[in-house]
Amino acid sequence: MKKTVSGMATRLAIIALALASLPAFASSDYPPAIWNSAASCNYSSRTAAISHVAIHTTQGSYASAISWFQNCAASVSAHYVIRSSDGQVTQMVTEANKAWHIGNSNGYTVGIEHEGYVNNPGVWYTSAMYNASSALTRDILASRGLAQKVYTGASGWNAVPADSLYNVKGHVNYAGQSHTDPGSGWDWPRYKTLVANGSGGGGGSTPTLTWPVVQSGNTGERVRTVQYLLQQWGYSLTVDGAFGNGTLTAVKNFQSSHGLGADGVVGNATWPALTILTQQGDSGAKVRAVQSQLRESGYAVTVDGIFGSGTYSAVRSFQSAKGLGVDGIVGDNTWSKFAW
């Protein structure tokens, strides 16, 4: 009997080793990620549509975060966990379900945990982590046709801007939270650039971009662009290409709401906050801004606010003519070429 039990134990050990050597399952939501489920007691069904992404810091190791989310004593979870050293991504809750990561904002958010500690960002917030996280966030937004409205940090690392202004924010930036992650060391401008797919493409944002100055008394296409973008941000004003009192007031209000100096002048500080990533399938005033600029540059597009195939083709042609990466996406690189 002892021999039989011993033989069975040996066989079980061999089977366990064989299973351990098998490749991890890939995530169905995000194929680059490894799937390693959180305990079912730590998440629930989602009833609201996903509209936002929440950036977290684990305040511990990658492995310990994964282990904790698999422990029912935790009563917490996140959709994804990212390793600092190499950017490895593990998914633990499907996006269709509600992870428990941000209290009253759980219902409409996807939570991404980043290995590390908020008080030591220089060690933990690596390039590999930023690159992996931004690619994941870009995929979450793009798969739902959501605009990339990444928090810039302009109002302060612990500010609580309205959800309508940004759909990618830190845990600390959502209303009613007690946590401070990802902390003051998270590089929001860098993250915004990376989410916009790097600096090379027309949909990207190069940190060294310069912008023209547009101010009270100016007229023309630049002013129309400012006015259309202000409309997209919810300001009520007429798009007439004339920078009058109504436009001046709207610009000052926009600057104030974004933590910028409210001088009414649209320059290097205001343009990047004002522009919104715009791509095929989008609609509204931001698309009219793109179309109006394209017409100014000689392209035969209709200013109808619908980013269809004609607008897409014209954007790609414009990007090629201006020496930009041709991706058909209007990010800061393309907006800057329009503005000049």
Residue 325: CB partners within 8 Å, gap ≥ 6? Answer: 200, 201, 202, 203, 204, 319, 333
CB 224 within 8 A of CB 289: yes
Is 115 among the residues known to form the active site?
A: no
Distance CA 243, CA 291 (A): 20
CB 141 within 8 A of CB 86: no
Residue of 95, 113, 221, 296 with catalytic role: 113
Question: Around Cβ 185, how many Cβ atoms within 10 Å?
Answer: 17
β 80-82/109-114 pair status: parallel
What tokens appear for 106 in the block? 């759980």
Distance CA 261, CA 152 (A): 15
β 34-35/89-91 pair status: parallel
CB 284 within 8 A of CB 272: no
C-alpha distances in Å from residue 247, one per residue of 70, 85, 164, 240: 53, 48, 21, 10
Distance of CA 166 to the CA centre of its chain: 9
Query: Active-site residue numbers?
Result: 113
